[in-house]
Amino acid sequence: MKLNIAILPGDGIGPEIIEQGMKVVRAVCTIFGHELHARTALVGAAAIDATGHPYPDQTHQLCMESDAVFFGAIGHPRYDNDPSARIRPEQGLLAMRKSLGLFANIRPIVTFPSLIRQSPLRAELIEGADLVCIRELTGGLYFGRPQGRSEDGNTAYDTCVYTRQEIERILRLSYGYAQKRRKKLTVIDKANVLATSRLWRQIAREIEKEYPDVETEYMFVDNAAMRLIQCPKSFDVMVTENMFGDILTDEASVITGSLGMLPSASIGLHTSVFEPIHGSYPQAAGKNIANPIATILSAALMFEYAFNLAEEAEVIRRAVAASMEAGVATEDITREGKAYTTSEVGDFIRQLL
């Protein structure tokens, strides 16, 4: 099979973790006899430096011509510390999502038995946890207009906007995932306060009748944040709006023991994007200490969702689990024994494959 992949390393640790992910992708393609075509493009701060835009036209063109996008991270401290900057790296990520029509972010959260003790949560709470968070990706506060600041700079405002069409398509996608799993969907909102959440709940009540085989529960986001820590095994598939999903999935990283363990797939109208959920971690850039596991697991999602190659995806996940059992891990999830470097973890998993 021919695999046509656009590689967007991005900023910070992005190039290092993508390098490890591509070691695994190339190994799997060799093992299974796939023909790999991979091309690289700029995004984020690196793209601003080179072209003046965080998501250049040539990058978008490459993404549109590809079957999948393998993405690292976006962000640079010089923009974080300059609130007056008109162009920011993160705008590139938002532009990519909007341009590619990526309306759904799929984030599986699964515990590895060998890492149960790495989580700050008690083992009995998280052992066997296996859930999927589906985050709406192109609406809400991150895209709502108007957005800005007053002339004197002392007032700032954002607008949360959702349409029926945006809510319906993410809910139907989520019900589809629930049907393939344990047939339970949790719709998370803040319907007691927000008008947009009340629209979410109204539409969900309408749509749930079409999926009688799925148990639907409704939960306010503050309660969901508490339940995610108290009883993560009570969730199967959860669906929520953009900002709530951003926050809840980062919170869920404590279940796995590290933000560096969580992969994601962003899917929609055009080319799908596969990326780790963590940021660019600029403090670690170039030090060869970043955890590449989330990126490698994102490669597994890419084989599964972009190319419908489930066996290849499972082989990657088994190799990752074996590396964890062998104690080959970076410093963020190593409490005893040797901490391995980013490249050593990538090389070990490639050798396992």
Catalogue all structural domains in the chain, each as residue range(s) with its CATH number. 1-102+259-353 (3.40.718.10), 120-256 (3.40.718.10)
pLDDT score for 338:
85
Which residue shows structure tokens 């900023």? 11
Low-confidence stretches of the chain (pLDDT beneath 50): none
Q: Which helix H or strand E contains 218, and what residues bound it?
A: strand 215-220
Active site residue 175: no
Q: Which residues pair with 38 in a beta bridge?
A: 5
Judge whether 222 counts as a catalytic residue: yes
Q: What is the pLDDT of residue 296?
A: 98
The residue from 189, 246, 332, 340 that is catalytic is 246
Count of Cβ atoms closer than 10 Å to residue 74 Cβ? 29
Per-residue tokens: 103: 């309306």
Pick the catalytic residue: 82, 222, 287, 338?
222
| pLDDT for res 5 | 98
For residue 112, the model assigns a pLDDT of: 83
* Of the candidates 329, 266, 228, 229, the residue with the CA atom closest to the CA atom of residue 69: 266
pLDDT, one tens digit per residue, over 5-56 is 999 999 999 999 999 999 999 999 999 999 999 999 999 999 999 999 999 9
Q: Do residues 203 and 172 touch, judged by C-beta distance below 8 A?
A: no
Residue 139's nearest CA partner among 272, 327, 277, 268 is: 268
What pLDDT sits at residue 117?
78
Q: Give the residue from 61, 92, 62 showing the smallest Cα distance to 76.
A: 92
- Structure-token pair, residue 195: 């008008």
Catalytic residue (one of 142, 175, 281, 305):
142
CA distance 119 to 127: 10
To the query of whether residue 246 is one of the catalytic residues in this protein, the response is yes
d(C-alpha 163, C-alpha 140), whole Å = 9
Q: How far is CA 168 from CA 108, 132, 186, 192, 278, in A?
A: 21, 18, 15, 20, 28
Within 10 Å of residue 185's Cβ, how many Cβ atoms?
27
Question: Tell me, what amino acid is at 297?
Answer: L
Residue 142 designated active-site: yes
Which residues share a beta bridge with 275? 264
Apex CA 38: angle with CA 34 and CA 39, to 5°? Answer: 165
- Give the Cα separation of 284 and 342 in Å (integer): 11
* Candidate list 190, 211, 236, 281, residue with the active-site label: 190
> What confidence score (pLDDT) does residue 79 get?
80
Phi, psi of 292 (to 5 degrees): -90, 0
Residue 318's H or E segment, with its range, is helix 310-325
Determine whether 250 is an active site residue.
yes
Catalytic residue among 67, 80, 158, 250: 250
- Judge contact between 126 and 112, C-beta under 8 A: no
Alpha-carbon gap, residue 140 to 95, rounded angstroms = 15
Alpha-carbon dihedral sign for residues 217, 223, 225, 230: negative
Cα–Cα distance for residue pair 228/119, rounded to 1 Å: 14
What SS3 state is found at 336?
coil
